[in-house]
Amino acid sequence: MFSAPKAKVTIILANLGTPDEPTVPAVRRFLKQFLSDQRVIEIPKPVWQIILRLFILPFRPKRVTHAYEMVWGQDSPMREIVLEQVKAVQQQLIEHYPQFELNIVPAMSYGNPGIQELLQKLSLNPQDHIILLPLFPQYSATSTAPLYDAVAKWILTQRNLPGLSIIRDYYQHPLYIQALAQSVRDYQAEHGGAEKLLMSFHGIPQPYADKGDPYADRCRITGQLVAQALGLQDDQWGVSFQSRFGKQEWVKPYTDQLLKDWAEQGVKSVQIMSPAFSADCLETLEELALQNAETFKSAGGEQYAYIPALNTRADHIVLLTTLLQANLDALTQTFAH
């Protein structure tokens, strides 16, 4: 009796990326790749490359390397966490889908393991279907779209194309909101509460939002839903945006300025979280946890705490597997023997 081979399905969990090591050359290499992406920086390429090569790459890598040294363990925190997320998701999915030859792998838009290199490897072992899950809860052209670009570029080089599913985002998925709210409850059960909860998201330039990037609106919706899940009053929480870069206006309010304002208004305790990050990284561990603590306290605040990203929390893994199961269940019908 003929038995058809199992369908080959690769699931890619993709994040932004990280340097290979906390050294100036590695950080410079990473920043050059990241800041050369016109999805990230929309200044005309010839002009921007002059700025990048003459005024940024000669100086910024040294400062950034020092920051990485403060948070680096055996590897970059982000890469370590993404690898653990891949293992956890794999454990959940493989036993439930024995009909597939499942391959669950990590990828980064910039740095290693790179998305383009991964796709080229898959060319050598043709897949029946690829599912791409960008680990960005709120879609943005500056973060999610580069992964689409990488896939599109790869598709142009292929003859035998697999099926393809891309999970755009999940900014208001009930399991995502529940996981965020529960992470706050768990933290406060151990450490106590605060006068204010600040949900700080990575910012984007205001002109990007004006041109149609939905990211900032999605962040605000996430914030509203988390506050609602926690039963917070309007004066107990806020949404803000961090990590502005350059001189142009970015979406507001700015995290550092809002923290100063709150401290000057008499707020003594703040807890901050960053729902846009599925894995802790330099931005959360150094900028949010350390720099902004100093900003708040120097303006008169007293207690400041960072609530970790969802990382490998069990409820986060349930969310990720649930997002993927919807696609795998559909494929079960497609590849039914």
Residues 6+ apart with CB under 8 A from 27: 19, 61, 64, 65, 68
Give the pairing type, strands 303-306 and 269-273. parallel
Q: Quick count: other Cβ atoms within 10 Å of Cβ 181? A: 19
For residue 66, say whether it is annotated as part of any ligand binding site.
Answer: no
For residue 202, say whether it is annotated as part of any ligand binding site.
Answer: yes
Counting Cα atoms < 13 Å in the Cβ hemisphere of 9 gives 26
For 187, the enclosing helix (H) or strand (E) is helix 174-191
Q: How far is CA 62 from CA 54, 73, 75, 171, in A?
A: 15, 19, 19, 34
In the chain, DSSP finds a helix count (H) and a strand count (E) of 13, 8
Binding residues for Fe(2+): 202, 283
Binding residues: 202, 283
